[in-house]
Amino acid sequence: MKPNISTEVGAIKIERPTMLASGILGISLEVFDRLYKEGAGALVTKSLSKEPWEGYPNPTVVGVKAGYLNAVGLSNPGAPYFAKMISSNKTVPIIVSLVGSIPEDFDFMIKQFENVKILGYELNLSCPHVEKVGLEVGDDPELVHKIVKSVKTQSKVPVIAKVGLGSSDYLETVRVACESGVDAITAINTIRAMAIDVETTRPILSHKIGGLSGSAIKPIAVRCVYEISSQFDIPIIGCGGVSSWEDSIEFILAGASAVQVGSALVDKWVGVFSEINDGISKYMEKKNFSKIKDMIGIAKKP
């Protein structure tokens, strides 16, 4: 029998455990539809704000030896525009990523999606390069509490909190988010980092400091998933450097119910999803796992 690679992230049920990470190509329904057909189990949108944001000037994305740096600056068309754009959606499993500074920002945005078919929300509490949102929210437990509480009251669909490594203990953010009723955790976002060009003696990104993604951060992300799943009883989505089925299994063994793929698109393009799904399926067959659930967190056995 073919193994079943569908998975559940709390109340979110998806056919395949590989999602598109937020901010990656996540700007149009047509692209979502294409990636869904290519094998992504769910599509997380770019993080949306109340109003459209242009983001930072270029350079906003560059390579480094073991990954990528970006300070896109959360450019996005704004929640109202985006909600309208995907309002015709019937089939694509979309998770809407939201970014804001106060509960009211989130309330406003959630209203926009009231009649739009989406799987859930992902709260970006972890963007490392824009002021007053992202990590600056995630690093403030009281604010996290208020935002999650409020979003949970407003939202009819599950709510995921996306955390990252900021200037406070991310496990504290997870704790507060869990206590405030969040349905799942995505870990992790990019890690604050920079690159300086030695010829011009300048930081390369226009914002100077950006976020590191890709293979470089995978061992850190796996550690975070392992720590969260060891300390909390909450579904986890692993994110950070996933580029192969082995990486995905590694996150699942550490405690993730699903994974998100971002930077790996550079090397593998849209075929990355089916490549990973097939690999997971073959692995499960070989190892006699019949469903994803049987693998989640088993690296924690003593």
Ligand X SMILES: Cc1cc2nc3c(=O)[nH]c(=O)nc-3n(C[C@H](O)[C@H](O)[C@H](O)COP(=O)(O)O)c2cc1C
**Residues classed as catalytic:** 127
Q: Which does 28 bind (CB under 5 to 8 A by kind): ligand X, a copy of itself, other proteins, none?
A: other proteins
Q: Which of 11, 13, 30, 66 binds a copy of itself (CB under 8 A)?
A: 66
Indicate whether 31 belongs to the interface with other proteins (CB under 8 A): yes
154 vs 206, beta carbon nearer other proteins: 206
Is beta strand 7-9 parallel, antiparallel or unpaired with respect to 12-14? antiparallel
Tokens of 233: 């009883």
- Which amino acid is residue 203, in one-letter code? P
Euclidean distance between CA atoms 292 and 8, whole angstroms: 9
Cβ at position 251, least distance to a copy of itself in Å: 9
Query: Do the Cβ atoms of 191 and 224 come closer than 8 Å?
Result: no
Query: Do the Cβ atoms of 287 and 70 come closer than 8 Å?
Result: no
Strands (DSSP E) found in the chain? 7-9, 12-14, 18-20, 42-44, 61-64, 67-70, 94-98, 120-124, 159-163, 184-187, 191-193, 196-197, 202-203, 210-213, 236-239, 258-261
Cβ at position 62, least distance to other proteins in Å: 6
Euclidean distance between CA atoms 207 and 70, whole angstroms: 9
Euclidean distance between CA atoms 162 and 43, whole angstroms: 15
Q: Which of 190, 248, 257, 277 binds ligand X (CB under 6 A)?
A: 190
Q: Which of 223, 268, 291, 293 binds a copy of itself (CB under 8 A)?
A: 223
Q: Which of 1, 156, 198, 269 binds a copy of itself (CB under 8 A)?
A: 198
45 vs 190, beta carbon nearer a copy of itself: 190
What x-and-dash track marks residues 51-90 binding other proteins by CB under 8 A? -xxxx-xxxxxxxxx--x-x-x--xxxx--x---------
Cβ at position 180, least distance to other proteins in Å: 30
Indicate whether 24 belongs to the interface with other proteins (CB under 8 A): yes
Among residue numbers 192 through 251, which ones bind ligand X (CB under 6 A)? 213-214, 217, 239-242
Could you tell me which stretch among 50-58, 89-97, 117-125, 204-212 binds a copy of itself (CB under 8 A)? Answer: 204-212
Euclidean distance between CA atoms 238 and 105, whole angstroms: 26
Peptide bond into 188 cis (omega under 30): yes
Q: Which does 242 bind (CB under 5 to 8 A by kind): ligand X, other proteins, a copy of itself, none?
A: ligand X
What does each C-alpha distance from 6 to 74, 85, 244, 290 come to in angstroms? Answer: 31, 28, 18, 11
Query: Do the Cβ atoms of 242 and 225 come closer than 8 Å?
Result: no
What x-and-dash track marks residues 246-265 binding other proteins by CB under 8 A? ----------------xx-x
Q: Which does 191 bind (CB under 5 to 8 A by kind): a copy of itself, other proteins, ligand X, none?
A: a copy of itself
Count of positions (residues) in the chain: 302
Interacting residues with ligand X (CB under 6 A): 21-24, 46-47, 61, 68, 70, 72, 74, 97, 124, 127, 162, 189-190, 213-214, 217, 239-242, 261-264
